[in-house]
Amino acid sequence: MEASARGDRVYHAITTAFAVSIPLLLVLIAISIGIAAWPALSQAGFSFITSSEWDVARGKFGAAPAIYGTIVSSAIALLIATPLAIGVSIFLSEIAPPWLRQPVGFLVDLLAAIPSVVYGLWGIFVLIPLLRDPIAPFLSDTLRLGSTPLFSGPNYGYSMLAAGLILAIMILPFISAVTREVLLAVPRSQREAALALGATRWEMIRDAVLPYARSGIIGGIILGLGRALGETMAVTMLIGNRPEISASLFAPGYTMASLIANEFTEATSDLHLSALMAVGAVLFVITLIVNALARWLVWQVTRKSAR
């Protein structure tokens, strides 16, 4: 009995240590990035996130263009991916004939398995030429959107739009996976009641299924946002990497992640390194908040159905 009790204690101690290592790792990441970012943050102060002057030679570090680019490229991605992901999820959970469910679901899930760098490669050689030739002229000339600030200026392909498009493809499986999960958590009775009241299938989905799953779907969208905000390689390869704020989606931009990826190994001064660490710290805090919010929203729906 003595030995077995000791075995249990050892087992408990080991699994507890592994479990506790996760919070410790997060704390360690936060502290070490925080310390490394401090010199740049304390020197630039609040202007670090408001100034758009990123001049390494003169020691000026304003991350506004990168923050702007991160938000805009992610917003484009969400605008494109959200309706598609919700459509696919409704298709897979409510409408598709059984023989289509598995393969379509599998193909959508596999989008998440493709490495970011492969998306980038494909983007450079397929998406960028497509944007440069049929798509951009179509948007600016045929649709006459060229006079609006959103689609003005020359289009080299490498642009905010390119980054947003590739991000849309990349985050679609994440939004769709969560949406499918919460749609499946909607009780059967909810659907049956709507149909019994004479609703069409679409009305049943719109009035009985989607409202029930709403906070979970929003959680999935926010989870996709979290992915888009931190996505690095594909965006770095397609966005053009220019630290300017331009209203045009055809203009090249920068994101926090691509800024770090581009300049980190070339940073020579301590202040430059610290500034990049500070960009990382901002990204860390934003994604932390976004993820926590998303998890909480999804948890709300799945907990409801677990009861």
Partner 1 sequence: MAGDKEVGEMRGRQRRHATSVVMLGLTYVAAAIATLPLLFIILYLLRKGAAFIRPAFFTQMPMPIGEVGGGMANAIVGTLILVSIASAIGLPIGIGAGLYLAEHRGSRLANTVRFLSDVLNGLPSIVIGIFAWEFLVRPFGNFSALAGGLALGAMMIPLVTRTTEEMVRLVPTSLREAALALGYTRWRTSVTIILRTAMPGIVTGALVAVARIAGETAPLLFTALGNQFWSTSLTEPIAALPLQIFTYAISPYDTAHAQAWAGALVLIAMVLVISLAARYATRSRFGTAGD
Question: Within positions 87 to 106, which residues make up the interface with partner 1, using CB under 8 A?
Answer: 87-88, 90-92, 94-96, 100, 104, 106
* 7 is a contact residue toward partner 1 (CB under 8 A): yes
Q: Report the distance separating Cα 7 and Cα 19, nearest Å.
A: 18
Instruction: Report in angstroms how near the CB of residue 5 gets to partner 1 at its nearest.
Output: 8
The yes or no reply on residue 49 touching partner 1 (CB under 8 A) is: no
Residue 183 to residue 220: CA distance in whole angstroms: 11
Separation between Cα atoms, residue 219 and residue 175, nearest integer Å: 9
| 176 forms part of the interface with partner 1 (CB under 8 A) | yes
CA distance 256 to 279: 6
Residue position matching structure tokens 């996709």: 224
**DSSP structural state of residue 141:** I
From the list 44, 139, 231, 239, which residue makes contact with partner 1 (rule: CB under 8 A)? 231
Q: Report residue 65 CA to chain centroid gap.
A: 18
Q: Which residues pair with 55 in a beta bridge?
A: 60
Q: Which ranges of the chain would DSSP assign to H, the alpha helix?
A: 2-44, 47-50, 64-90, 98-110, 116-122, 128-130, 136-137, 160-184, 188-196, 201-204, 210-230, 233-238, 256-263, 270-306
Tokens at 175, concatenated: 């939004």
21 contributes a contact to partner 1 by CB under 8 A? yes
Burial class (CB in 10 A: 0-12, 13-18, 19+), 165: buried
Pick from 49, 121, 184, 245: which binds partner 1 (CB under 8 A)? 121
**Residue 38 CB neighbours (<10 A):** 14
Which region among 41-49, 152-160, 200-208, 212-220 touches partner 1 (by CB under 8 A)?
200-208
Q: Which residues from 244-263 bind partner 1, rule CB under 8 A? A: 257, 260-261
Query: Could you say whether residue 75 binds partner 1 (CB under 8 A)?
Result: no
**Subset of residues 208 to 227 that bind partner 1, contact rule: CB under 8 A:** 223, 226-227
Do 248 and 69 touch, CB atoms closer than 8 A?
A: no
Report if residue 193 touches partner 1, rule: CB under 8 A: no
Q: Shortest gap between Cβ of 155 and partner 1 (angstroms)? A: 20
> Candidates 131-139, 144-152, 182-190, 198-206 — which segment interacts with partner 1 by CB under 8 A?
198-206
Q: How far is the CB of 202 from partner 1 (least distance, A)?
A: 4
| Binding flags for partner 1, 271-290, as an x/- string (CB under 8 A) | -----xx--x--xx--xx-x
Nearer to partner 1, 140 or 213 (CB): 213
Shortest distance (Å) from residue 121 CB to partner 1: 5
156 part of the interface to partner 1, by CB under 8 A: no
* Residue from 55, 200, 269, 303 binding partner 1 (CB under 8 A): 200
